[in-house]
Amino acid sequence: MTTKNIALVNGVIFNGQSLVNNQALLLADEKVCGIVALSDIPAGYVKQDVEGAYISPGLIDLQIYGTGDDLFSADIHRSAIGRIEQNLLAQGCTSFMLTLATNTLEVFEQAVQVFANANPKVALGLHLEGPFLNIHKRGAHPGELIVEGTIDRIKRLLRGGGEVVKMMTVAPELMHIESIRYLLEHDVVLSAGHSAASFKQAMLGFDRGITTSTHLWNAMSPFHHRDTGLPGAIFSHPSARASIIVDGIHVDYTAVRLSKKLLGDRLFLISDAVARCDKGIYQHVFKDDHYVLPDGTLSGSALSLLQAVANCVNHAGISLDEALRMATVYPADVIGRTDIGNFNSGSWANVVVFDHDFRINSVYFQGERVV
């Protein structure tokens, strides 16, 4: 359904700072026009009664590999991107980084080309989680495909893709400063992960321009009392951020609660979600409420980002407004976007409406109702 001017009313609006009642969210064409008192709704706006539901900016997931039966790395086609986008919109995720784990350089190159030609709107770009990782913290990544992050390899990955590669997870202890500089010059957001870095090595990586870290606690050096490793550097560095998987499996909810107290607004949510797949390098098997490799190794989650928000509220003692910031405001900050993840006038009209049980009521993408 397409309506040019919409006023969402009778809901609890998350405005980025707090949850507010008795106001209306105005959407005009593809953009947000602001939040106003009910008495100030302009003429010509069609009122949509959301019946007491929550109204939030669309959620932003910076690490997701696929949905349903579509694992992008195993089906690198424009049609797969389209299906993943539609599935995520139905979950309230209106912006995401389509992610590929460690693979051959040929697969990465193919993915870059397909993504560039597809020119998707919901997917913001590619997040390459590898292949420049530490084999000792490879997790579900095949060790034989992990390689050194040389300038030549980096140029090969970025070649011909324009600005498609937006993020890259790297092991900071194995990245030469020249490689980091080259990636930063090409506006790639660098995230420390799958790393055995010492505290000193990790701090140096953050000082050199790595700005965030990938799935806190998972596949990284431990927090040891004689060398606090990558987690200690994340907590200590004044600007380092971290993503976290809040499914109660990848990270215990107590660890989520403690991490939140230490990091505050530097901690944000990702789903790290994968899809059922029985072909290629990554064969993900659904097990109860998460995914494993055929040998039982923990792989990706089965989370939606809205479920991660719910888990923060219901299991980790995080308020709803803060949990929503972790899925909207903070990830937008990580990638330097001011036009998504908020209801500022002029931002994209991406909206998720959900009830008090975190069930989707409706979703708007660039002003058009898609759910």
d(CA 275, CA 322): 28
Tell me how far apart the alpha carbons of residues 216 and 255 are, in angstroms, rounded to a whole number: 10
What is the tens place of the pLDDT at every residue in 88-137?
A: 999 999 999 999 999 999 999 999 999 999 999 999 999 999 999 999 99
Q: Residue 141: which CATH number?
A: 3.20.20.140
By mean pLDDT, which of 156-160, 196-200, 227-231, 236-240 is the weakest? 156-160
Query: Using CA atoms, how far apart are residues 157 and 30, in angstroms rounded to an integer?
Result: 33
Q: Percent of the chain, pLDDT > 90?
A: 91
For 30, which DSSP code?
A: T
Q: Are residues 231 and 121 in the same domain?
A: yes
pLDDT tens digit sequence for 279-317: 888 898 998 888 998 999 889 999 999 999 999 999 999
Give 165 or 2, the one with higher predicted confidence. 165
CB 146 within 8 A of CB 171: no
Which residues are known to be catalytic?
272
Report residue 1's pLDDT band, with 50, 70 and 90 as the boundaries: very low
Question: Residue 304: CA atoms inside 13 Å, Cβ hemisphere, count?
Answer: 19
Domain range for 78 is 59-334
**Residues 182/126, Cβ–Cβ less than 8 Å:** no
CATH of the domain at 358: 2.30.40.10
Q: Is residue 58 exposed (0-12), middle (13-18) or buried (19+ Cβ within 10 Å)?
A: buried
Contact present, 301 and 249 (Cβ < 8 Å): yes
Reading phi first (left if > 0) and then psi (alpha if -120 to 50, else beta), residue 217 is in: left
Count of domains in the chain? Answer: 2
**Same domain as 145, residue 112:** yes
Q: Are residues 276 and 153 in the same domain?
A: yes
Q: Is the peptide bond before 131 cis (omega within 30 degrees of 0)?
A: yes
Percent of the chain having pLDDT more than 70?
A: 98
Task: State the pTM of this model.
Answer: 0.97
Q: Are residues 190 and 103 in the same domain?
A: yes
Residue given tokens 């995914």 in the structure block? 291
Q: How far is residue 157 from each of residues 76, 132, 166, measured CA to CA in Å? A: 16, 12, 12
**246 and 101 part of one domain:** yes
Find tokens 């004044």 and name the residue.
Answer: 238
The reply to whether 19 and 162 lie within a common domain is no
Question: What's the confidence (pLDDT) of residue 3?
Answer: 57
**Residue 2 confidence (pLDDT) above 70:** no
Residues 67 and 210 in one domain: yes
148-182 pLDDT, tens per residue? 999 999 999 998 776 999 999 999 999 999 999 99
Same domain, 308 and 172: yes
Angle between helices 78-90 and 105-118 (to 10 degrees): 70
Same domain, 11 and 124: no
Q: What per-residue confidence (pLDDT) applies to 159? A: 86
Q: Which residue pairs from 110-113 have beta carbons closer than 8 angstroms and sit at least 24 positions apart in sequence?
A: 110/76, 111/72, 111/73, 111/76, 112/157, 112/158, 112/160, 112/161, 112/164, 112/165, 113/160, 113/161
- Residues 142 and 130: their CA atoms lie apart, in Å, by 10
Query: What gap in Å lies between CA 350 and CA 316, rounded to an integer?
Result: 27
Q: Report the alpha-carbon distance of residue 150 to residue 131 in Å, rounded.
A: 11
Q: How confident is the model over 48-70, as a mean pLDDT?
A: 97
Shared-domain flag, residues 163 and 52: no
Secondary structure of residue 102 in the 3-state scheme: coil
| Average pLDDT value over all residues in the chain | 96
Rounded to whole angstroms, the Cα distance separating 196 from 137 reads 6
Beta-strand relationship, 360-365 and 368-369:
antiparallel
Instruction: Mean pLDDT check: name the lowest of 151-165, 203-217, 330-344.
Output: 151-165
Same domain, 18 and 131: no
CA 96/CA 247 separation, integer angstroms: 18
Question: Quick one: pLDDT at residue 93?
Answer: 98
Is the same domain home to 48 and 107?
no
